[in-house]
Amino acid sequence: MEEILCKIAESVDNGEEEETVRFTEEALAAGVDPIAIIQRGLSPGVESAAKKFNEGIYFIPELMLMAESVKAGLTVLLPRLEKVHKGNFRGKILMGTVEADVHDLGKNICLSFLVANGFEAVDAGVDVSPDSLVEMMKTHQPDIVGIGSYMTTTLPSLKAAIDSLRNNGFAGKVIIGGVAVSEAWADEAGADGYADDAWEYVNLCRSIMGLEKRMAVSGYGPGSEKVKVR
């Protein structure tokens, strides 16, 4: 089992989408648990690529290829995950990118990590207007709404989205993430929480739902002490 999981991690790290799909299907055929495939295959690949990006070894093109590989692997796993959880999710999160921003790399990675940790994750997409976010909130009734902002020019839209959710009766938690935001901006915008990478995002959601925080499965990644919930 470890060999096939390592192959999945390497294919994700290398941005090899077809290989990720092939190895993921092989792992399922061999009886490997789909959650284990994400936590010990896809996730370590993401973490390795992120580490290389932080060290200046990888750049945006490599991260985009990695994200497509993760997305492809997750597409194979999602039908199995739905059967595993059988509706017994740890919480529901609606997650999208703010209006006028079409970046989805971070969002897609966070969604995959959330699914692996037992959350029902609804993808709101990109360039999501406040009105659209409110409509999806009413439709899906999430416990948490996550909004990503990856360009500083979209920060006013981020605050508008948060205000719109509050003004339309959303009683859950609103959390934010993305390279354009910070904890200080979360305070100013009225968000309930902020995280600066995928594992912090998972821990933030776990904290909101009253669950124990977790470390990254492969040893790389932040500790839970950085997660703050308001």
End-to-end CA distance of the chain: 41
pLDDT digits (tens, 9 = 90+) for 51-92: 998 899 999 899 889 989 988 998 899 888 777 666 678 899
Q: Which domain holds residue 159?
A: 92-229
What does each C-alpha distance from 180 to 98, 158, 174, 196 come to in angstroms?
A: 11, 10, 17, 10
Q: Are residues 191 and 79 in the same domain?
A: no
Q: Are residues 79 and 185 in the same domain?
A: no
pLDDT digits (tens, 9 = 90+) for 161-192: 999 999 999 999 999 999 899 999 999 999 99
35-49, 73-87, 205-219, range with the lowest pLDDT: 205-219
Q: Name the domain count of the chain.
A: 2
Q: Are residues 77 and 175 in the same domain?
A: no
For position 86, what pLDDT does the model report? 62
What does each C-alpha distance from 121 to 13, 45, 60, 138, 163 come to in angstroms?
A: 23, 21, 25, 15, 22
Can you give the C-alpha Rg of the chain in angstroms?
17
Q: Using the 8-state DSSP alphabet, how is residue 170 labeled?
A: -
pLDDT digits (tens, 9 = 90+) for 112-162: 788 878 899 999 999 999 999 999 999 999 999 999 999 999 999 999 999
Last residue of a domain, one of 25, 51, 85: 85
Q: Are residues 96 and 186 in the same domain?
A: yes
For position 230, what pLDDT does the model report? 37
Task: Judge whether 106 and 97 are in contact, CB under 8 Å.
Answer: no
What pTM was computed for the model? 0.79
Q: Are residues 9 and 29 in the same domain?
A: yes
